[in-house]
Chain A
Amino acid sequence: MYKYIAKRLLMMIPVLLGITVLVFLMLHLTPGDPARSMLGDTASPEEIAELREELGLNDNLVVQYGRYMKNLIFHGSLGTSYVSGREVMSEILNRFPTTILLALCGIVVTVLIGVPTGIIAAVKQNSWMDKAATFIGLFGVSMPAFWLGLLLAQFFSLKLGWLPATGFYGPKYWILPAITVGLNTSAMVMRMTRSTMLEIIRQDYIRTARAKGVKEKTVVIHHALSNCLIPLITVIGLQIGSQLGGAMVTETIFSIPGLGKYLVDSISSRDYPVIQGGVLFTAIVFSVVNLLVDILYAYADPRIKTQYAKAGGRKRNRPLERKEA
């Protein structure tokens, strides 16, 4: 198992390297000039050329990439922001907890709404509860976050005055953004739970459990739900990833000082180091979440654990060190 995890962590390195190359290339191939957007329209060509030289933008792309990677690997630095002049790494680390907190709150909303309604819809298939859950699910999926967020803020903050509409300073502030982030995905989780549950509940081993005299509630929770976990973990894991991306919208609506908003701002000002750093950071988080999902699989299903043990075992013959170099 540990070998498997180590192997997966090592496999992240080429992935992340690939991402740096891609982001770097894409940024430098898109039209637009950071020097011009920093100095504004009134700047003279000489001034722009001078700034470009200063930022190292006139160098060969390979040289620029090499410099970036050297700084990243040997100094742990993602460069400094063109706009604020601050270290990108510390700026990201400052904002990241907020974004993760928002994503986790969203996941809590997703799970709390999605899983129970999905189970009820499956167990009471074709009843009014099933139909209601399906309807609400459809409604939730088709409601875009930017619109839902605005509606929620309008109703709960402006009209009722119950909850704050902007900022992110305490649990009270988390509620509306969390619902905005979570409601959309909870509909998906609900559909997933329902369809998986419907399949599982017809399995022979559920009949075995019933034949033992197990109470229906225990059958559903203990015997059926534990077999639904794999697809559920998959969907929820993917949702965490997409919520990191989706955070840009939510953070902008509710003026939350998170990574998403920071990235949106930096894209409009062509702040290359920030964009690169932000994307790289998101990619790392995404990979780690994926790894966590895969590790959780092993705990949800003993058959997968056996596979991992085998996968880790095979690794033994291969020199681990070489990959790190």
Chain B
Amino acid sequence: MKKESEILLQIRDLSVEYQTEDGIVKAVNGIDLNVGKGETVGLVGETGAGKTTVALSILRLIPDPPGRIVRGEILWKGKDLLKESIPEMQKIRGDHISMIFQDPMTALNPVHTIGEQIAESVILHQNLHKKEAEEAAKKTLELVGIPKERYFDYPHQFSGGMKQRVVIAIALACNPELLIADEPTTALDVTIQAQILEMMNQLKRDLGMSVIMITHDLGIVAEMCDRVAVVYAGQIVEWGTTRQVFKNTYHPYTLGLFGSLPDMKAADEQDFDERRLKPISGMMPDPTKLPDWCHFAERCPYRTDECEKDPIPLRDFGDGHLVRCRRCPVPGKEE
């Protein structure tokens, strides 16, 4: 397991709200997160849990209105990004911190060549001339496995997987220290997904960058991440190294996530009823009316009256494995 290393990004008590017609949507409610140098941190959770909002907050790209960061600090090498000026943020975006977006189909500008779109950030951040930037962009293209001859092609001339490679190339063009990957493979089919993940792993090793991997796929977390934060209704409910979270799963929600995965090994041994996928019953709470107590209480199979009294803090279950749950560890799960 990776040792504690130099902390690159530190998020403290981040809270983000969206103003909508139905009221204030509390998308992110006091999230704390550390990303070390060279480390890959996974953010796991279902759609609407607030993962993307966290990512966009780091780059200050929350559309405002309707979004608003109400509280918190995002410390980048000690500097609070939330207090930086816009020009200062523009220097950080794309150069120090880059982002890969979820849907490669819409993330590229249809009327500019892909080369131009990659070279743009090189020109912006490295003060290169057009010709030099073109060379740099062509190198990045080859890095993500696209022949440099395609520099002058337009996005519509690429397939989905190739487009995602271009999106990754844009993010990598200036060798960022932190890469935020927002469900980079969700829109792709499984074979392409494997290719892209393998490529990202390779690039991560070669370039030594830190990655925040946002996903709802636990398989990707197992494959890519050093540490993982399980997010539910805008809160981190479980946080630890990937091994801790996968081996000693404590939080009922995380347990539920694992329960809804097909288990191929068990499939042969167990009878049909046990082999069935166990979805988490119920729905995520209405983000405009979040309860003051445990957000998961409504769906939790272990709920007690205690759970619906006060806000639940994150508790350390040993070695920095933090869980936001009142109940004792499940018997038998404890080592």
Contacts and interface: CB of A to CB of B under 8 A. Distances in A.
A307 to B, nearest CB: 10
A244 to B, nearest CB: 30
B170 interface: yes
Nearest to A207: B61
B108 A301 contact: no
Contacts of A214: 90, 94, 120-121, 124
A213 B91 contact: yes
A302 B99 CA distance: 26
A226 interface: yes
Contacts of B204: none
A300 B98 CA distance: 29
A210 interface: yes
A172 interface: no
Interface string A56-77: 0000000000000000000000
A204 interface: yes
A210 B93 CA distance: 8
Interface string A205-232: 1011111111110000001001101000
B93 A212 contact: yes
Contact of B112 (A210, A211, A226): A226
26 contacts: A203-B106, A204-B103, A204-B106, A204-B107, A205-B106, A205-B110, A208-B108, A208-B109, A209-B109, A210-B61, A211-B101, A212-B121, A212-B170, A213-B92, A213-B93, A213-B95, A213-B124, A214-B94, A215-B87, A223-B112, A226-B109, A226-B111, A227-B109, A229-B111, A302-B154, A303-B110
B106 A211 contact: no
Given A205-B106, A227-B111, A211 B99 contact: yes
Given A204-B103, A204-B106, A205-B107, A212 B112 contact: no
B214 to A, nearest CB: 14
A301 B111 contact: yes
Interface string A194-205: 000000001111
B209 to A, nearest CB: 16
B90 A213 contact: yes
Contacts of A207: 61, 101, 107
A180 B63 CA distance: 40
B59 interface: yes
Contacts of A213: 89-95, 121, 124-125
3 smallest CB-CB distances across A and B, nearest first, come from A213-B94, A213-B93, A212-B94
Nearest to A211: B99
A210 B101 CA distance: 12
A306 interface: yes
Interface in B152-182: 154, 156-157, 167, 170-171
Interface in A175-204: 202-204
Given A210-B61, A211-B94, A211-B98, 7 more contacts: A205-B107, A208-B167, A212-B124, A212-B170, A226-B109, A301-B110, A303-B156
Contacts, number: 80
Interface of A: 202-205, 207-216, 223, 226-227, 229, 300-303, 306
A184 to B, nearest CB: 30
A300 to B, nearest CB: 7
Q: Counting chain A CB atoms within 10 Å of each CB, which of B63, B93, B103, B157 scores highest?
A: B93
Contacts of A203: 106
A300 B111 contact: yes
Contacts of B101: 204, 207-208, 211
Nearest to B122: A212
B59 A211 contact: yes
A216 B108 CA distance: 17
A212 B89 CA distance: 10
A302 B94 contact: no
A202 B59 CA distance: 17
B38 to A, nearest CB: 22
Nearest to A216: B86
Nearest to A201: B63
B109 A223 contact: yes
A59 B108 CA distance: 65
A211 B124 CA distance: 12
Nearest to A300: B111
Contacts of B125: 213
Nearest to A301: B111
A209 B125 CA distance: 13
